[in-house]
Structure 1
Amino acid sequence: MTPLAHARYCDEILAQTDLLRDLVRDADLAARVPTCPDWNLRELVVHVGGAHRWAGEIVRTRAAAEIPDDAVPGSGGPASGDAAALDAWLAEGAAATVAALREAGPDTEVWTWAWERRTAFWARRMAHETAVHRADAAAAVGRDFEVAPDLAADTITEWLEIVAFAQAGGDPEAAELRGGGRSLHLHATDAADAEWLIEFGEDGFTWRHAHAKATVALRGPLTGLMLAFNRRRKPDEGGLEVLGDRSLLDFWLERSSFG
């Protein structure tokens, strides 16, 4: 499996934002978000829209260094507390960010916090950021959540890349994801070739796409697998099944949360 095309990520930022807007447009914005319990719905939307604007400003200005949040115009949300203003603010920010990403293309060099210093990183990151937080909003309003299989699979792959990057950078939680002879298998039952094998070594972990017997396996529908791997669903809910040593799966989930 390879990352999706730059144009597809741009399309998904807009599509996932529109779906998020549909979820919250008539909802109680003061409702708590069960999967992000420190936030209510309004705070969740402001987080997503602020991330869009921050990434868009980095791309638009071809930033070579990190831009502080308070230097990004409008990143704190609309001045008005009105729901319509929030909806318009979210749509406007996503559109501006996608316009900047499309104008720059995938290969323009910009600052990122990660392993890839190209605009392609921000297109992919914002697509997944928006999709996962749409799942948070769906949980808050009691609605079902589905996402295209290739996007769901790439969300899992990107998260593995992020955790590996964090471990290489010395993150204390990710640093504990080691210990030889153990492995974790993710197996989507409704999508071809959507499998990941995480192997724990003495110096850290590695992962690859493979079907193999492991210390523990998490299997089930791909969307549910994506939600559980992002800690948005319990591993034994929504048609998911845990086979083997559940404590190893919990070990991974606890140490790949980054707060």
Structure 2
Amino acid sequence: MPPLAHERYCDEIVLLTETLRAAISGADLEANVPTCPDWTLRELAVHLGGAQRWAGEIVRTRATEELGEEQVPDFTPDGDDPAVLDAWLAEGAAGTAEALRQAGPAVSAWSWYERDRSAGFWARRMALETVVHLADAALTAKVPYTMAPELAADTIDEWLDIVAGAQAEGDPEALELRGGGRSIHLHATDVPDAEWLIEFGEDGFTWRHAHGKATVALRGPLTDLMLVFNRRLAPDSDRVEVLGDAELLDFWLARSSFG
């Protein structure tokens, strides 16, 4: 499953942010976010909107090093008015998407991911960041959450790439994801061929899209697999099924939560 088209990611930044704005409209913005317990719903929205604006400014300026928050125009909304927050989210998503569209995927721009420092990286990252934080917002606001299969699958792909990159760069937790003879199989029950096989070796792990017998298997609807993999749904939820060594899945989840 290759990454989606650059233009699709740009579109999704705006569309998913619109869905998030609708989810939090009228909700208690001071409510605690169960999946991000250090944040209120307002803080979650400001985090996401700020991240989008930060990425957009990195691409717009063709930055060659990390930008500080103070270098990003309107990094935070002015005041606590929900209407101001809503407009700020809309403007930020639109501006970020436009900066990414104008740049195109191949333009160089600093990123924290050493394997890919391009506008294309940021388009994908911001779209999929919004996929996950939309789940946080929907859970907090107690509204339904659904995700297009191609976006849910791409979120799993991207996260596996990020964890592999962190392992290669020496992240202490990611370095523990090793040990020959163990494996994890993710199997979506509602989307054909949406399967992942993660295999542990002595020097680290590898992953591929494949069906195979594994030490532990996680089965369920694709969106729920994605939520478990991003630690937004507990693996013991009745929405998914864990077969085999559940401790290995817990081991993975605990050590792929860096940053």
Q: TM-score w.r.t. structure 1 length?
A: 0.98
Q: Percent identity?
A: 69
Aligned counterpart, 1:84 = 83
Aligned counterpart, 1:7 = 7
Aligned counterpart, 1:99 = 98
Q: Partner amino acid for 2:197?
A: L
Shift of 1:144: 1.8
RMSD of aligned alpha carbons:
0.8
CA distance in 1, matches of 2:46, 2:203: 39
- For each residue in 1:9-63, what CA deviation from the matched residue of structure 2 results, as whole angstroms up to 9, or x when unmatched? 0111011100000011111100000000000000000000000110000010011
Shift of 1:236: 2.8
CA distance in 2, matches of 1:205, 1:57: 34
What runs of 5+ residues in structure 2 fail to find an aligned partner? none
What runs of 5+ residues in structure 1 fail to find an aligned partner? none
Q: Mapping of 1:211-226 within 5 angstroms?
A: 211-226=211-226
CA distance in 1, matches of 2:176, 2:229: 17
Q: Partner amino acid for 2:233?
A: R
Aligned counterpart, 2:67 = 67
Aligned counterpart, 2:210 = 210
Shift of 1:112: 1.0
Q: Mapping of 1:93-242 within 5 angstroms?
A: 93-114=92-113, 115-242=115-242
Shift of 1:238: 5.0
Match of 1:38, SS state, is strand
Q: Partner amino acid for 1:61?
A: T
Match of 1:94, SS state, is helix
4+ long deviations beyond 3 Å: none
- For each residue in 1:111-155, what CA deviation from the matched residue of structure 2 results, as whole angstroms up to 9, or x when unmatched? 111111111000000000011000000111112211000000000
Shift of 1:239: 2.2
| 8 Å CA contact 1:183, 1:199 repeated in 2 | yes
Shift of 1:66: 1.0
CA distance in 2, matches of 1:16, 1:163: 24
CA distance in 2, matches of 1:238, 1:218: 12
